[in-house]
Amino acid sequence: MQTVKMVITGPFSSGKTEFIRSISEIEVVSTERDITTPAEQVKDQTTVAMDFGRITVDDDLVLYLFGTPGQRRFDFMWEILAEGMLGFVVMVDSSKPETFREAKSILETFRAYAPTPYVVAANKQDHPDAWSPEDLRIALRIEDGVKLLPCVALDKESVKTVLLELLYSILEEMEL
């Protein structure tokens, strides 16, 4: 049996766990922990090691989705998760400009781990304060050749589109 994996990364609270939860056929195996430091108390739980989701294709092929922990103090996990990945998604909380710089830095770090295709998901597009994907592209200085997709991680169709676009990019890369 062949297993392939994709990594979902991005800053703290950008929606990585939600993204995997929306599409995984299994209950996401998440290593969530209650948040104790007040600075991070914007939500109850954070991922401390990784999220783990699964999509079975057939008896011979399984896709694993790994979500990275968003907080930098857990970033020793990143490189391990990046190993052998088919591609990665960088999630950005479009409504929180204070996280854009961090998102860009995570993107660059993952690019250095492996030369795989990636897409950027402008998440939380349903939020009233969300920046548009076009503005985010300029704010994050995403090159024209890289896909920047609107996303609502709570919506399965939206998550499907992001994963499909990543797979199309992977196909294109193979045809080069």
**Interacting residues toward another protein by CB under 8 A:** 2, 4, 11-13, 23, 38-40, 42, 55-58, 61, 63, 79, 82-84, 86, 93, 95-101, 112-116, 128-132, 134-135, 138-139, 141, 156, 160, 163-164, 167-168, 170-171, 174
User: Measuring CA to CA, which residue among 10, 8, 9 is closest to residue 102?
Assistant: 10
Structure token pair of residue 152: 């609502």
Alpha-carbon separation of residue 62 from 36, 102, 169 (angstroms): 36, 31, 19
Give the nearer residue to Mg ion in terms of CB position, either 24 or 47: 47
Distance of CA 16 to the CA centre of its chain: 5
- Cα 106–Cα 150–Cα 114 angle in degrees, nearest 5: 30
What token pair was written down for 136? 């985010």
Does residue 94 bind ligand GTP (CB under 6 A)? no
By a kind-dependent CB cut-off of 5 to 8 A, residue 152 interacts, out of ligand GTP, Mg ion, another protein, none, with ligand GTP
Is 131 a binding residue for ligand GTP by CB under 6 A? The answer is no
Residue 17 makes contact with Mg ion by CB under 5 A: yes
Which among another protein, Mg ion, ligand GTP, none contacts residue 128 (Cβ within 5 to 8 A by kind)?
Answer: another protein
Spatial contact of 49 and 73, defined as CB atoms under 8 Å apart:
no
CB 142 within 8 A of CB 120: yes
Cα–Cα dist 122/130, whole Å: 9
The nearest distance, CB 96 to another protein, in angstroms, is: 5
Instruction: Indicate which of another protein, ligand GTP, Mg ion, none lies near residue 96 (CB less than 5 to 8 Å, by partner kind).
Output: another protein
Interface positions with Mg ion (CB under 5 A): 16-17, 47
